[in-house]
Structure 1
Amino acid sequence: MATPLAFTGHSTHPMAAVRAAFANEQYWKDRIEAVGGPNARIDSLAINGDQVRVDMVQTIPASELPAQITAIKPDGLTIPRTEIWHGSGGTVEAYVDGAPATITGSLTVTEDGSGSTFVVDATIEVKIPLFGKKIEAAIQQHLTELLEREAEFTDNWLSSH
């Protein structure tokens, strides 16, 4: 049974501005550098009108992980992630390199009257008997923190551009 990941972030900027950032190559470069973790990178970025696909690799060093994860991945986590945006919605897929852990879900950005709202509705699944749920909970916590940093980064980036 997978663990849900539900995140809602708010921006003071309208949906059109947020979507315009997502269609800006410099935004992705700046974001991965600011919040992607050590040695994070963008593997590919394709922008075609309102369709955006970004393949990135993010990392979480072992020093930031709980013992139940470092017992399996003592060098930290490498997380390939793909976001595909079209219009005001999209999808996200990620996995933990070398571990039976996957994240899949949907992305939306909508107007909310005072700016916009960004929503991630995903599931985390770790296929390890007995410990899978504990690891899913730890991943959920770290992903929520990452999504908070990404939302804050996006709002700040838009304010300065």
Structure 2
Amino acid sequence: MASNLRHQVTFPFSTQRLWELQSSEQYWRDLLEAINSSHGSVESFESAGDQVTVAVRQGIPEEKLPPLVTKVRPGDLHIPRRNVLTFADGRISGTISASVEGAPAKVEGTLVTEGDPATTTYTAEVDVSIPFVGGKIEKAILDQLVALLDSERDHTVEWEAANR
């Protein structure tokens, strides 16, 4: 049974400005360097008009994982993630997906950003197909995901201020 996420972050600038940042490959490279330097990388970046597709690889070192997770899946976690973002009618909409290599865990969701200041609303479903402990691991993933989204928001604000 999957667990659901709904999370919002607000930026001190417009949706248009956020799109300008997110449609820059350098923004994504700097984001991964800032929040996941030892385990993160941009695998691909494509920008075509009003659509951006970004594939990244993130990771969580084993020592930062809850014991329940390391009992089921020892070692560092490697997480391929893909964002497809579209800018239309003054708003950003997109899909997000992630999985955990070597484990039956996945995240599928959407995001919508609108307004000035920009507010992004994330909705996602986390599914870990492991009998008996899947729900507990989903909870751990949800906690990590919220922390990640908040960290990305904070870095984006800093990056925007440094790259005006």
Shorter-chain TM-score bucket reads over 0.9
Give the deviation of 1:156 after TM superposition: 1.2
Instruction: Please point out which of 99, 108, 112 is paired with 1:108.
Output: 112
1:88-145 superposed Cα distances (whole Å, 9 cap, x missing partner): 100001000000001000011110x4x1101110000000000000000000001110
Identical-residue share of aligned pairs (%): 34
Cα distance in 1 for partners of 2:38, 2:75 equals 12
Runs of 4+ in 1 over 3 A off after TM superposition: none
TM-score, with length taken from structure 2: 0.94
Name the aligned partner's letter for residue 159 of structure 1: A
SS in 2 for 1:120: strand
Contact 2:39–2:60 (CA under 8 A) maintained in structure 1: no
**Match in the other structure for 2:85:** 85
Which of 119, 128, 131 lines up with 1:129 in the alignment? Answer: 131
- Using the TM superposition, give the Cα deviation of residue 38 of structure 1 relative to its aligned residue in structure 2, in angstroms: 2.1
Cα RMSD after superposing both structures? 1.0
Q: Which amino acid aligns with 2:112?
A: T
Kindly provide the amino acid, as one letter, of the partner of residue 148 in structure 2.
L
SS at match of 1:71: helix
Where structure 2 has 5 or more consecutive residues not aligned to the other structure, the ranges are: none
Query: How many residues of Structure 1 are paired with residues of Structure 2 in the alignment?
Result: 159
How far did residue 30 of structure 1 move? Answer: 0.2
Q: Is the contact between residue 84 and residue 92 of structure 1 (CA under 8 Å) also seen in structure 2?
A: yes
The answer to whether the aligner puts 1:99 opposite 2:103 as a matched pair is: yes
In the TM superposition, residue 73 of structure 1 has moved relative to its aligned partner by 2.1
TM-score of the pair, normalised by structure 1: 0.96
Aligned to 1:46: 46
Deviation at 1:37, TM superposition (A): 4.9
